[in-house]
Each structure stands twice: as structure tokens, then as C-alpha cells.
Structure 1
Amino acid sequence: MVKHIWDSDRAAKLPKGVEELVYRSNLIGSDRTVCNWGGGNTSMKTTEKDFRGREIEVMWVKGSGSDLATMKTHNFTGLKLDDIRPLIKRDQMPDEEMVDYLSHCMIDSKHPRPSIETLLHAFLPYKHVDHTHPDAIISICCADNGKQIAEDIYGNRFVWVPYVRPGFTLSKMIAEGVANNPHAELVLMEKHGLVTWGETSETCYQKTISIIQEAEQYVNDRINQHEVFGGKRYQPLPEDKRKQILAGIMPVIRGAVSEEKKMILSYDDHDDVLEFVNSVQAPALSQIGAACPDHLVHTKRVPLYIDWNPETQDVHKLADLIKSGVETFTSEYQAYFTRNQQDGDQIFESAPRVILIPGIGMVNTGKSYAMSKVSGALYRRAIAVMKGATALGQFVSLHENESYHVEYWPLELYKLTLAPPEAEFSRKVALITGGAGGIG
């Protein structure tokens, strides 16, 4: 269960302003069941003095490409609210125009580019706003009967917003939905996440946590009453056997996924991973789609599921299935790109980021060990969401075209440009000899 960890004594010692927003953001980001790596955003509204000494209302919002768990004051962007608020009177605003407009609202050009969801925060009339992706909440938002479930939990206290890609339209829908419901305490974004608010940083944090706890209690009660993922199809192999097999197949996997660019691998056999990959429903459930738009760039729309029987088939058969599976995944991903591409789009690596193997666990790929671990961490969140959603109803996801337009969305891809350029030996593995000798 999500825990309330606000330290009132520590918070009281913080300077009023962005420091308290940093504290709240770090607390929220520290629990990955509340907020994905790199995902979610927070804001606060303050009064500042501009360069002429005039008092102006400023909204501080997470800058694009930062992570709530680790961000500091320099990762937030200040924007003049008087310049932003009139936008809500518009009927529409293309992404490119929105980004350009917001760049003129910044109080300091050295601040990072503001979050994709800046207008979501600006259009809500509350001093503090949190947007998160909690597992329990997304389980509801990705269930086919999610709106009815929300009514059971929250009554008339929520606003349900159908799926729309983040931007002007979604921000306006949220603001209007809240304005039209005097009882609203939260917004549930279909196939996406949660929005909460408060008049102080602490009350905003408390609301975020309490709303998630209500969802967790409801979802966990249903999970305990159901056979998870349709029950077991296979038993996980003993740990020593898993490691023995991995030693033989990891080079096979790395060779197969490195046809276009070299990839680094990591391995995960946490209990939740083993429960999923060995389940009856995993082959079909894993192919429905991503559990959250924020996952797509790092996990792709679906993982590669290797249909291997650990009880009757040997490691040589597994190696063959991996090679053919990666080849099929690559060709299908290229076809997916071709079906949906727009002018100027350039395809990413076609190889899978997530590989699920019954009896063994999950192997992840990335340009570095750290990024392969990010893909794995995000897919564990997807497993948690699917576990909750299937206990409530049927798991649903973005359809193919919706997924593509998030995965290849220029505003989402901009985050990737903020990463440092790849180093000379990126994507390579080095073996340093002599390390066991006196000189080494």
C-alpha cells in the first residue's frame, strides 16, 4: 500500500516557494507505484517580482525530461499565468503553437522547456496540482468498466475524462469537467492517470495519497478474490537452473536484438515478473498494448513473448524460438511503423525492449544497462496495472494508432534529446584482462 510519508517538521523548515514543490515532488516520485520513472508532473502557483519589480502570478511546473524522484529547483520552469489563462477561451491549439506560445510565457529563458501537460496545471484554479500514474488508478482507467468502478469508489467526487493525447484539448476538457462538478476532488484520465490538487503543498500531497489508497484498497480486495492472470500455466524454474539457462541464452538474445544497433541487456526475475510470465493469460494479455502512454518510448507497444515450455522443451529449442521471435517482432514493428508513419518520422530500433520467457523471467534491452533497467522497471508497472485491471474487468489499452502517435510524438521525443550524447564506447561490453593479478 502507498504510505503517507510527509514530514511536517522538515517541510516547515523549507523556504516558501519552489523548495516546497521540490520536496513534494521528490516524495511522490520516490514511490514508483505512484509515479513512473520520468513520468508525472507537479506544479505550484506563487507571486513573484518580474525584472521591473512588479508583482506577477507565476506557475512553477516540472520541466520536460526530468524525474520527480530526483529533480531539484533548477528542473522547474516559471511561467506568467496572466499570459496563459486566456488560452482556455480558444477552441483548439496545435502542439507546435502551444510549445511556441509557452516559450514566451517563461519568466527566465534559461529554465527548461515546460512539461507537455503545462496547460493542465494552468487551467485548474488551485495553487498546487499533482498529475501521477499510480498502479491502482491506472488499473481502473485501463479496465473496460473503469468508469463504473470509479463510481463505486468515489461516488460523485471524480471527473472522468475519455482518452485524449496530452495537450491543449485534454487540458481544457479537464478544466471544464472540474468546473462543472462542484464535488470534484480528482480527475481520472482514461488509459492514463490521475490529477489531484490542494491549497497547500501538504494538503495536495495528502489528497494524492488518500485518493490512491482508496483505489488500492478496492483493487486489492478484488485481486484477492480472483485467480491472478487466469492461474499458473508453468512453474518457474529453480533459481540455479534459471541462471544456468541464462548463461547460454543471453549471448543469443544480444546477438538477435543487435542487428541494427548494439543493445545491452538486463534480467529480472522478481516474484511479480515470474507470476506473470508463467500465467495462463500472459501470451494474450501481454499483446493488448501499453498500460500507460508514458511507457511507450521505453517499452514499445508490446513485448516479445517467447512461447517456450520450460517443462518439456530444452535450451536449444529456446534459443531457436528467441532468434525467430526477434526476427518476427522486428518485421512486425517495421510494418507497424509503415502503417502509421507521418512525414518526417524516423523509425527507432525495431528490436524488442521487453522479452518475456516462461520459467525464466524478463530480459530487457537498451542502449545502456541503465536504460534497459528503465524498460524493465516500467514493464513491472504494466504487470501491476494488468493484474488490477483483470481483477476488475477486462484490460484495455490504447489502440495501435493512438500508441504510435504517443511513441512518435515530437513533444515526447523531445525528452530523449535531453539525454547526453552516446559516448565512444556506448552499447559495447568490455572485458578487462589482468584484473586478478598484482598489477590489476
Structure 2
Amino acid sequence: MTPTNDEAMLVADTVRVSRDLGQDPFLVLHGGGNTSVKLGKRIRVKASGFDLGDLSEEGLVRVDRSALTKLLSQPTLSDTQMVEGYQEALVTPGDPSPTIETLVHHALPFTSVLHSHADAIVALTDTLDGENLVQRALGEEVIYLPYVMPGFDLARQILTAWEARSSERPTVLVLAHHGLFTCGDSPREAYDRHLDMVGRAVSFVKNQTGIDLVQDLPAPTHAPVGGRLDLLSEALTDYATGPCSVVSHRDHEVDAFIARDDFGTISQQGPTTLEHIIRTKRLPMVDGDIGAYIDSYRDYYERCKHRAVGETQMLDPLPRVILDPDLGLVTTGLDQKAARAVQDIYRHTVRIITATEALGGYRTIDEGRAFDIEYWELEQRRLRPAS
């Protein structure tokens, strides 16, 4: 079916605002976030594996909304069943799989829905008093939801919460430890609303703490001390079971974070945004003992593996983030690009945790729920050989 001029314009506008979101690292990092636009009986939604920052029309896959309604009406639905349902709902078989949050986009009754993990929004929710802070910063018209894993349960929770206040026609939802959804009757309206909400959050945090969550991150200010980075890289390579790239970074914010009296506590609570755990692991290494970190990671896996759906394969236990008084922030990955992505994420993490502590105390998802994300059945499926 050939799209009408109005539909073509809506898609083009969605691509444009998607790129604007994705090119701002204080809103989205390394493939995060998703967007959608409804076109009658169909919805076009960002496909998994696509980056908002350089999204094209091909990255907005067509999905049949009647099929999504049937999925959403089920009493229960596993993540695997949901993804299989997404595949069956594709208008063009063989297209990339839609984002895991497609049902959320479908459930919200607006033409355009935009989702990001904005630093300032996450900072408000990663606190002891997150709901109150969100309402003070953004207004009581915003729907605030406690943490739920992405997928069917989150979509049902959002639908229930929206319907309970449908007479107000709410257009903004904040998800604890996750991010922001804004809605609109056009992509531009949803985007302007998104920036307005983030702007309110940024202003609130800055007024309360003096910390600017949209100010550029500082440039490197120190080089690693002596040959310690080389020695650490060699040690990491010895422990690694595959390729291991190592990069390092120091600046005044990282140094101040590591020098904090409560560093040993605040660095060991988990990621600021739930999806970052896939890249960074739950905790950084802070004591310089790679062997002890690996043993601790294995203990964590054994402690929590009963929570997994089906059989699991333990992931590489090597630390992805290392914080050291002399070396600063050291990150690892299968290649330089992966290690740099972890570095980007944790540099934002440092500032967010600093802000949340100034807002009353940093709190994020607990160990068990972090494991649920890290060992998500959908992530584990990628590790299994094709049958």
C-alpha cells in the first residue's frame, strides 16, 4: 500500500525527531531509546538494533496494530512469546524485529510516542524520594510508575495507569530507573514535550544541587600513572577468555568521584539506567583485584540464576568498568568501540550518581532485578547456536 502524503510526512518527521533525540548523549546513549508513529491500522516503530542518532525510514518497521491488540489482551505473555508475536505482526515478513517496547507504543493512544533515558530524568528517579521529586520537578500531571522490566508487564502497567487517568489525557510517563515517554498528536508535539520535561528536570536538579546534567563532560586532564595501565591491561588479558580491549580516561569529575568518602558504597549499588547493565555489568571493580572480582561475579550468578527463565549461560565475568585512584576510569570490551561505549556510559553515570547523592541518596534496582535484565531470556537467546 502506497502511503499518503500525510503519512509520508509523519514518517519523515518521526525520523527527524528520532535523530534529534539520538544525537544528544544526555538523552540517549549507544542505541538506547525508541520512537513510533501510528498510521491508521499500522504503527511504525524503531527496530531493535537500530540507533536513533542515524535512523532512516528503514529503521521504522511496519507492524499491524490489530495483532498487537491481541497480544496486549492476553492474560500473560512471556518475552519469547511476545517477540514471536511481533514477528507475526510485521506487515513485511523478514523485516527487523520491532523494539521490545512496541506494545507500550501501541498502548498509548497518541499518534507519536518518544522514549529516552535522559540523564536528568533518571537522576530524579534514582533517589530515595523519586516519585516526590518527579512531581515537584515535572508536575503532578505526569504519570510516575515504579520499576518494571521492559516487555508485556510494563505495557500492561502503563495501559492500566493511563486508563485510570484517561479523563486527563496524560501525555508524559516517567518510569523509575528507566526513563521518559512523551506523547503527542504529531512527532513535533511529542518532541517539544520531551524537551520541556527534560528541561524542567535539568533546572530542578541544578537548582537543588548545582549540578548541570546537560553540560558537556570534561576533557581528559591526567594521563595514567607510569606503566600501571599496561600492567592492568596485561592482567585483564590473562584472565580474559576472548578478545579484550582496554581504554582509560581521567578528568576532574572522575577523580572527585573516586576520592569521595562514600565511594565504596555509592559505586556498588548498580547502574543508573537498567539497560546499561548489558554493557557495563552491574558493578565496577574498585579494589584492583581482578581475581576477586571474577569470583564475586560468579557468586552473584550462582546466587541469582534461579530467577532466570530456562537454562542460562554465564556471561564473561571480566570487569567492564574499573575505578582506580591512579588510573581513573578504565573500561573493557571485546574491541575498542565496545570499550569506548562503556566509558561513555560510565562518565554519565558518575555525574548522575553525584547528583542523586546531592538530592538525598542514590538508589537503583536491586541485585535480583539487575540479574533479570543481564540474564534476560531475550539476551540469552542470542548466545545460543541457531537450531
- Pairwise same-fold verdict (TM > 0.5): yes
Q: Distance in 1 between matches of 2:221 and 2:347?
A: 21
Question: 1:414: how far off?
Answer: 5.9
**Structure number with larger C-alpha Rg:** 1
Question: 1:264: how far off?
Answer: 0.6
Question: Which piece of structure 1 moves more, 250-259 or 38-47?
Answer: 250-259
1:215 aligns with 2:201: yes
Map 1:62-81 to 2 at 5 A. Answer: 62-81=46-65
Distance 1:13 1:81, change over 3 A: closer
1:103 aligns with 2:103: no
1:192 aligns with 2:178: yes
2:278 is matched with 297
Task: Tell me the C-alpha RMSD between the 2 structures.
Answer: 2.3
1:384 aligns with 2:351: yes
Q: Distance in 1 between matches of 2:58 and 2:73?
A: 31
Aligned partner of 1:257 among 218, 236, 257: 236
1:334 aligns with 2:315: no
Q: Distance in 1 between matches of 2:61 and 2:7?
A: 19
1:204 is matched with 190
Question: 1:411: how far off?
Answer: 2.2
Question: 1:89: how far off?
Answer: 3.0
1:24 aligns with 2:7: no
- TM-score normalised by structure 2 residue count: 0.89
Structure 1 gap segments, 5+ residues each: 1-11, 48-56, 226-236, 307-321, 418-440
Aligned partner of 1:271 among 252, 276, 286: 252
Distance 1:382 1:414, change over 3 A: farther
**Secondary structure of the structure 2 residue equivalent to 1:42:** strand
Map 1:8-407 to 2 at 5 A. Answer: 15-47=8-40, 57-181=41-165, 182=168, 184-224=170-210, 239=222, 242-243=223-224, 245=225, 247-258=226-237, 259=239, 260-306=241-287, 322=288, 325-341=289-305, 342=308, 343-407=310-374
**Secondary structure of the structure 2 residue equivalent to 1:104:** helix
Distance 1:413 1:68, change over 3 A: farther
Question: 1:83: how far off?
Answer: 1.8
**Secondary structure of the structure 1 residue equivalent to 2:318:** coil
Q: How many residues align?
A: 366
Q: Distance in 1 between matches of 2:58 and 2:65?
A: 19
* 1:237-287 C-alpha deviation (Å, 9 max, x unpaired): 973xx34x2x51122212222222231111112333233222222221110
Structure 2 gap segments, 5+ residues each: 212-219
Distance 1:13 1:257, change over 3 A: farther
Q: Distance in 2 between matches of 1:22 and 1:416?
A: 31
Distance 1:137 1:296, change over 3 A: same
